[in-house]
Structure 1
Amino acid sequence: MNMKNYLFLPVLLLAVNTVRSQSFKPPHLVRQNNTTQLIVKDKPFLALGGELHNSSVSTPAYMRPIWAKMKAKNVNTLLAPVYWELIEPQEGKFDFAVVDSMILGARKQNLHLGILWFGLFKTTYSTYAPLWVKANLAKYPRVKNKEGEPIPVVSVFSANALQANAKAFKRLMEHIRQIDEKQQTVILAQVENEPGLFYNPRDYSDEATNAYKEGVPADLMSYLTANKANLQPGLDSTWKANGYKTTGGWEDVFGKSVLNDKTPNGLSYFPEELFTAYHYTKFIGKVAAAGKEAYPIPMFINAWPKAAGLMSTPGKYPSGGPVPHLLDIWRANAPAIDFITPNVYASKQGVYALAEQYHRSGNPLFIPEIKQGPEAANLAFWLYGQHDALCVAPFGIDDSPAEEDPFTRTFAAVAQVKELILSHQGKGTMAGIFVDSTVASQSFPLNGFTVKANLVVPRGFAGAATTEKKAPFAGGIVFAAGPDEFIAVGRDYELTFTPTNPNPQKPRVDLDFMEEGTFVNARWVPSRRLNGDEGTGGGGIGAFGVKNNKAGSLRFQKNPTGAYTIVRIKFFRY
């Protein structure tokens, strides 16, 4: 063992001994209430995440001042790489000093970790593999392009590469279990990073070409046949167009490998991309299974998504990666991967589309990378409230100070209501909100009302001069708290509540009470009762009389610190 490990070991053993009397199941996923929840220390857990830059945790010294800064951003879970080149610099000789320092640094700040295994594949390339792998092309052959030239990606057709990668990942998970199973600092593991192939739809080495000529494997055809009624639309329509054949070559079964970029949903070089996906999923599925055998915590894979324009064809995005039209292949061949996630750097419409594509039965929504900035920080509310997201994590969270990061305020608000979010997931009693200057209103049914959210100008007391402009966007979450009662989180938007089926005997709506407050240990603690200038006057009463007494309303008051506000509101009918 490396001497550095000896220095960490007494601290780790002391930490283990302090919790020896406690016994928890390892972190795991549970399906309930039509949703999937992450369970940590036997309780549902909502991850408020952030992904560190690729090189940040490569030395303890670099990270030492960063841990406290991350805690100040109100995150509770950091996604951080573990590098194969550092933990096994010589074949068979492991050094977990960096891993130990990472776990201890997070634990000291009461943070959890999701580890990102930078093994053979990081953004498709094998740059994080140790030199004894990268330099030995005879033992660990490379992918080849159409010209027969090797590229810096180790081939998934290499049995030696699979054995070495799986062994290293298994040893890593064994080590984490040994030092962390009781504390559960590490709660998730990502197996590889954005796998697939750039520039080419498939590997053109002799071994890969021979495998392509052998045709569609029988196990894949059996899976597709058994699940024909539930396949992804792109895969199903292409297979159907070729007569639902159950045997034959890749192009016999799935059509010719041609460029098809004339439509947004066109599938270019489809048989070759399916071939790539089949072999990548077999390879990564076995790596994940080896790690899960050592420590069965939730494991996931992330995708560089397909996008319109420059990234619409395989090779422009990683061919064979876990993109929506290939999810069936990933689920068939890599059952040790518990869920599949998209990296999200798109604008609002792209976020909406990816959330819909990845949040499906058996695949909870988890965003390991989202762009930074105020728009994404507001969209996070929508992702948690509308799609039961397990985690939203801006990439490069260590870039900026806490006071300059808009996610600091978002996560402060979400942390206040995380128990509410967890208790409402999958029940249809919660809604996420995002409105902006292009779509300034959003309507949805909730708790017997049609609720409408509108982007507004911040408001102080009645009659005060308005000096601020309307915010460019606003995010929030609304919960049904009881009959005619709601809890709302947000700022810069207002809500109107119109009964979906009005009572003819009591058609009017008015305010019972409205109060700002906080949650302390999941218990509501009001800070002030709102009325008069700070209230809504019930059903839309303004300075010049009643506007609409058949609907209730809520408008957040301006917060002098710019923080998000939590409001509890109850109506009565007459």
Structure 2
Amino acid sequence: MNSLFLVYLILEDSYNRITTKNACNYLRGIVDQNVTICLRRKRRTMMKQRQHSQKLILGGEVHNSTASSIAYMEEKVWDKIDKVAINTLLIPIYWELIEPQPNQFDFSLIDSHLENAAEKKIDVIFLWFGLWKNGLSTYVPEWIKTDPKYFRIEDSDGNKMNSYSPLCQDVIAQAHSAFAAICDNLGSHPLRAFIRMVQIENEIGSLGTSRDHSSAAEKVYQMALPQEIRNLYPGAKQWSEVPFGDEVFMAYHYAAAIQDYAKIARKRLALPLFTNVWLKKPDRRPGEYPSGGAVSTTWQVWKVIASQLDFIAPDIYEEEIKPIIAEYGNDQPLLIPETRIDKRYISNLFYAFGQGAIGYSPFGIEDLLTNDTSQDYRFLSQLGLAKDAFDSSDTLPHLNQGYRIIAALEPLLQDQEAQIFSFKKEGAQNQIVYENGQDRWAVKLFSRDKMINSAGLIIKHKEYYYLTGANFALDLQAQQGSNPLGILSLEEGVLQDGQWRTNRRLNGDEAYFPFIGEDFKILRMRLYSY
């Protein structure tokens, strides 16, 4: 017989940091399939996160090279983007194309992106592909690549990596200069109102080696620890004495470069700034994922050294996302700028927004318009990413409906009086017990292989419960010792401008177990006891 666990998620001021994370870690280790979650939730945490964004980001990121050509971008994206229910497009801007010669800048791509965004009434998040992208330095201009004075990371055998060292101040100065010119352009652009945020670099870190062993790096590695690192690791005097020392060494220098980037932007732009992170996998060593990125082992270093950033955003391609969202959504805004685009896990968006996310963005959004899933997988498969994550087959109608539902529910998601609970099936779990005051019921999670993963949102606002998501049902049950619960009313409908419109009233067999299957919808329910 399964045990019954009671976990209190108390997201209130002084308890927020500890309780949320501990509760999530506790849930992660549960093998039993019945879990009770008792909600005592204030809205302050979510509201603080969402102050960074005027509206929720219902996003999509284009492939890495799509935005390198005005004609290609217009053909593959802008001419068809009306078919996707996004309000924000994440678009790379490339150092090699913006500064093809030293101090000679070409902003025509940026101009085109903003002109098309304005025409389509879609906001833009620009992604600066500058000095580092996915652990490599492939987007730097040719005049940088061919100049040997800009030195690269070396492994312990002296082999040069295809990535410039974060200790090479000359190349960092060139990247900062280019970024300053871009920020000047964006800050004065007549269409700047369509720019939501700027991402600084992309999935920073060192691939192929856990640490830079170039002569310049070795010299610094032998020096005394910076004061900020001594504060974080009391008792350590040398880098070799710091836990995960190679990663922390790289993180310190990458974060310092990003901090200077952010200072440059702050003088020119009134926009949120962030960088993203390639997450650490349990079976991978530093260097097999970008060493020095803002993963769990270096998170505190990044928070201290790159304090000018508004937040650090996780790129999530994993099936199990609860621990990731708990970590990166704790004490900072949660944006997911890259995530899987497959139909099975598109329901993750309900869980993410229910946990306070300000935005969600599947990667390769143009694949939804072509069903071309071959562009990036040959490379990505070498990085431990599942091919299924990039299968866009039949995703579009579900993403569109999910985004429309989130847009409709946004007033409730932003309402401080609303009580919000989101859930997602992970592992063998097939039931969660929801408890809120006298209301208690089981949420049955019944997705199986090849079905859309069970996930959803329950929002209580005044006397109503709003239910949405995929592949779950409610089994009402009374709290022990109280009167039984019944459904006073159950309606399927839509929210328009904050007003509920009933499509049909559900009763009889269709109200015994309120149910949402593969077609995302909103149910509104009132309960009573008898």
Pick from 400, 403, 408: which aligns with 1:408?
400
Find the counterpart in structure 2 of residue 206 from structure 1: 215
Find the counterpart in structure 2 of residue 178 from structure 1: 188
Pick from 483, 498, 503: which aligns with 1:527?
503
1:430-478 Cα offsets, whole Å, 9 max, x none, are 1113237832222233354234211359xxxxxxxxxx99945322211
Pick from 270, 276, 281: which aligns with 2:250?
276
Find the counterpart in structure 1 of residue 303 from structure 2: 331
| Unmatched runs of 5 consecutive residues or more in structure 2 | 1-41, 371-393
| Unmatched runs of 5 consecutive residues or more in structure 1 | 1-30, 225-238, 256-269, 458-467, 541-552
1:382 is paired with a residue of what secondary structure? helix
Pick from 196, 207, 229: which aligns with 2:205?
196
Question: Residues of 2 paired with 1:145 and 1:471: CA distance?
Answer: 44
* Pairing 1:90-239 to 2, within 5 Å after superposition: 90-138=101-149, 140-180=150-190, 184-222=193-231, 224=232, 239=233
Instruction: Tell me which amino acid in the other structure corresponds to 2:359.
Output: C
2:49 is paired with a residue of what secondary structure? strand
Task: Rate the CA distance shift 1:444–1:428 in 2: closer, same or farther, 3 A.
Answer: farther
Find the counterpart in structure 2 of residue 254 from structure 1: 242
Pick from 274, 286, 292: which aligns with 1:300?
274
Matched residues, number: 463
Task: Rate the CA distance shift 1:478–1:166 in 2: closer, same or farther, 3 A.
Answer: same
Pick from 431, 434, 437: which aligns with 2:424?
434
Shift of 1:214: 0.5
Question: Residues of 2 paired with 1:32 and 1:516: CA distance?
Answer: 26
Find the counterpart in structure 1 of residue 373 from structure 2: none
Find the counterpart in structure 2 of residue 64 from structure 1: 74
Shift of 1:194: 0.7
Question: Which fold has the larger relative contact order, with Cα–Cα distance below 8 Å and residues 6 or more apart in sequence?
Answer: 2
Contact 2:346 2:452 in 1 (8 A): no
1:400 is paired with a residue of what secondary structure? helix
* Pairing 1:506-521 to 2, within 5 Å after superposition: 507-521=483-497
1:77-120 Cα offsets, whole Å, 9 max, x none, are 11110001111111111111001111121222111111110000
Q: Compare 327-336 and 400-409 and name the one that shifted more.
A: 400-409
Instruction: Tell me which amino acid in the other structure corresponds to 2:165.
Output: S
Residue 417 in structure 1 maps to residue 409 in structure 2: yes
Find the counterpart in structure 2 of residue 291 from structure 1: 265
Question: Residues of 2 paired with 1:515 and 1:78: CA distance?
Answer: 34
| TM-score, normalization by structure 2 | 0.82
Task: Rate the CA distance shift 1:492–1:151 in 2: closer, same or farther, 3 A.
Answer: closer
Question: Residues of 2 paired with 1:44 and 1:323: CA distance?
Answer: 28
Task: Rate the CA distance shift 1:174–1:146 in 2: closer, same or farther, 3 A.
Answer: same
* Pairing 1:516-555 to 2, within 5 Å after superposition: 516-533=492-509, 535-536=510-511, 540=512, 553-555=513-515
2:114 is paired with a residue of what secondary structure? helix
Question: Residues of 2 paired with 1:384 and 1:490: CA distance?
Answer: 11
| TM-score, normalization by structure 1 | 0.76
| CA RMSD after TM alignment | 2.5
Contact 2:252 2:305 in 1 (8 A): yes
Question: Residues of 2 paired with 1:211 and 1:356: CA distance?
Answer: 35
Instruction: Tell me which amino acid in the other structure corresponds to 1:306.
Output: K
1:266-311 Cα offsets, whole Å, 9 max, x none, are xxxx2122111111111111112212221031111111111122x2
Find the counterpart in structure 2 of residue 446 from structure 1: 436
Task: Rate the CA distance shift 1:469–1:276 in 2: closer, same or farther, 3 A.
Answer: closer
Larger radius of gyration: 1
Residue 344 in structure 1 maps to residue 279 in structure 2: no
Question: Residues of 2 paired with 1:297 and 1:170: CA distance?
Answer: 14
Contact 1:37 1:45 in 2 (8 A): no
Contact 2:347 2:456 in 1 (8 A): yes
Question: Residues of 1 paired with 2:173 and 2:442: CA distance?
Answer: 56
Contact 2:131 2:172 in 1 (8 A): no
Instruction: Tell me which amino acid in the other structure corresponds to 2:515.
Output: R
Task: Rate the CA distance shift 1:108–1:146 in 2: closer, same or farther, 3 A.
Answer: same
Task: Rate the CA distance shift 1:451–1:573 in 2: closer, same or farther, 3 A.
Answer: closer
Shift of 1:381: 0.8
Contact 2:62 2:363 in 1 (8 A): yes
Question: Residues of 2 paired with 1:150 and 1:395: CA distance?
Answer: 30
Contact 2:50 2:333 in 1 (8 A): no
* Pairing 1:69-80 to 2, within 5 Å after superposition: 69-80=80-91
1:23-76 Cα offsets, whole Å, 9 max, x none, are xxxxxxxx9712333457xx7311111111001111111111312533322111
1:227-278 Cα offsets, whole Å, 9 max, x none, are xxxxxxxxxxxx5xxxx315x2212x326xxxxxxxxxxxxxx212211111
Contact 1:370 1:376 in 2 (8 A): no
Pick from 34, 37, 41: which aligns with 2:49?
37
Shift of 1:160: 1.8
Question: Residues of 2 paired with 1:205 and 1:436: CA distance?
Answer: 43
Instruction: Tell me which amino acid in the other structure corresponds to 1:565.
Output: K
Shift of 1:143: 1.6
Instruction: Tell me which amino acid in the other structure corresponds to 1:446.
Output: N
Residue 473 in structure 1 maps to residue 441 in structure 2: no
Task: Rate the CA distance shift 1:451–1:116 in 2: closer, same or farther, 3 A.
Answer: farther
Find the counterpart in structure 2 of residue 495 from structure 1: 474
Instruction: Tell me which amino acid in the other structure corresponds to 1:563.
Output: D
Pick from 315, 318, 327: which aligns with 2:290?
318
Contact 2:130 2:175 in 1 (8 A): yes
Shift of 1:510: 2.4
Task: Rate the CA distance shift 1:84–1:471 in 2: closer, same or farther, 3 A.
Answer: closer
Which 4+ residue blocks in structure 1 deviate beyond 4 angstroms? 468-472, 499-503
Pick from 86, 89, 100: which aligns with 2:97?
86
* Pairing 1:376-391 to 2, within 5 Å after superposition: 376-385=345-354, 387-391=355-359
Aligned-pair identity (%): 28
1:103 is paired with a residue of what secondary structure? helix
Instruction: Tell me which amino acid in the other structure corresponds to 1:383.
Output: A
